[in-house]
Amino acid sequence: MSVTPIIPTHNKGMFFLIAGPCVVENDQMPMEIARTIIRIANSYEIPFIFKASYKKANRSKIDSFTGIGDEKALSAIAEIGKTLNIPTLTDIHTVKEASLAAEFVDVLQIPAFLSRQTDLLVAAGKTGKVINIKKGQFASPESMQFAINKVMDTGNKQVMITERGTTFGYTDLIVDFRGIPVMQKFNVPVVVDVTHSLQQPNQISGVTGGRPDQIETIAKAAIAVGADGLFIETHPDPANAKSDGANMLKLDLLEDLLKKLVKIRKAL
C-alpha cells in the first residue's frame, strides 16, 4: 500500500495528474507505464496519482475484455503504490467493491454512469479514502453538489469531481468548460478527464470510438480555464489496448504534452 494520500496540493500552482492505462491487462504492463509517467511527472514537478481499472464492468459487448481477476489486478496496482511510493486510484461499481478496493488503493473512483447511486457513494465515503466522482454525462455541473454531499455526509471530506464530457447526440460528447469554475465553487478540486471526454460511444460495431487527435486541444483548454487536475489514460500501444484504445494517448507523446501544459499553467 502506498502512502496514505491527501488530495494533491498545488506545487507553485501546478496542476496534478491522474494517469495510467484504462485497465490492468497483465502483471507487468501497469508498472512499466507507472515508471514512465512518474519520471516525466517528477521532471516537471507535477503531483501524480496512478490510475488503472482493476476490472471493466460497463463494456458494450459481452465478449469484451473485463480483467485478469479482481484481486490479482488490485494487487498489481497496490504494488505500484508501494514500490514507487505514489497514491493509486481505481474505479468501483458496487457497494461490495468499495470495501474490497479500499484494501488496495488510495483513491476510489465513482464512474460517471453511477454518480447518482446513493448507496455506492455512501459506501465509498465510509471507507475514508479519497473519492473521485466522475460527473455523469447526463448531469449538470450544478447538480454535482448533491453527489459531493452524499460522500461528505459520511464524515469524509476528501472528494474530487471529474468532468468527462456531456452526451451530445447518441455518439459523441462535448466538454462545457463553463462547468469547471461552477464545480470549484463547491470547494473541491475539479479534474478534467481529457481522454474519456473524447470518446465516441454507442458505435454500431459495439466498440467505442474516439478522437485522440483532440487530446492536446482539450488538455490545453482545461489548463487555461484553471482546472485543478487532469485525467489522462495512456498506453504504449493504444491500437492494441484491450479497452478504450480509440481515445487513449500514446505513452511516448505524454512528455511533450505535459511540457506544453506546464508552460500554459506557469503563464497564467
Summarised one tens digit per residue, pLDDT across range 117-160 is 999 999 999 999 999 999 999 999 999 999 999 999 999 999 99
Q: What is the pLDDT of residue 159?
A: 97
Give residue-wise pLDDT tens across range 213-258: 899 999 999 999 999 999 999 998 888 877 767 778 999 999 999 9
Given a cut of 50, whether residue 109 has pLDDT beyond it is: yes
Find the mean pLDDT for residues 90-108.
97
Give residue-wise pLDDT tens across range 155-185: 999 999 999 999 888 888 899 999 999 999 9
Q: What is the dihedral of CA 207, 211, 215, 216, to 10 degrees?
A: 160
Q: What is the pLDDT of residue 210?
A: 66
Cell of residue 226, nine digits: 484553471
Burial annotation 236-261 (CB, 10 A radius, 16+ → b, else e): eebeebbbbbbbbbebeebbebbeeb
Of 125, 220, 142, the closest CA to residue 180 belongs to: 142
Percent of the chain at pLDDT above 90? 74
Q: What is the pLDDT of residue 170?
A: 86
Q: What is the pLDDT of residue 246?
A: 75
Angle among Cα 142, 196, 130 to the nearest 5 degrees reads 60
Q: Which residue ranges form the domains of the chain, and what is each CATH number?
A: 16-267 (3.20.20.70)
Residue 97 identity (one-letter amino acid): E
**pTM higher than 0.85:** yes
| pLDDT band with cut points at 50, 70 and 90 for residue 3 | very low
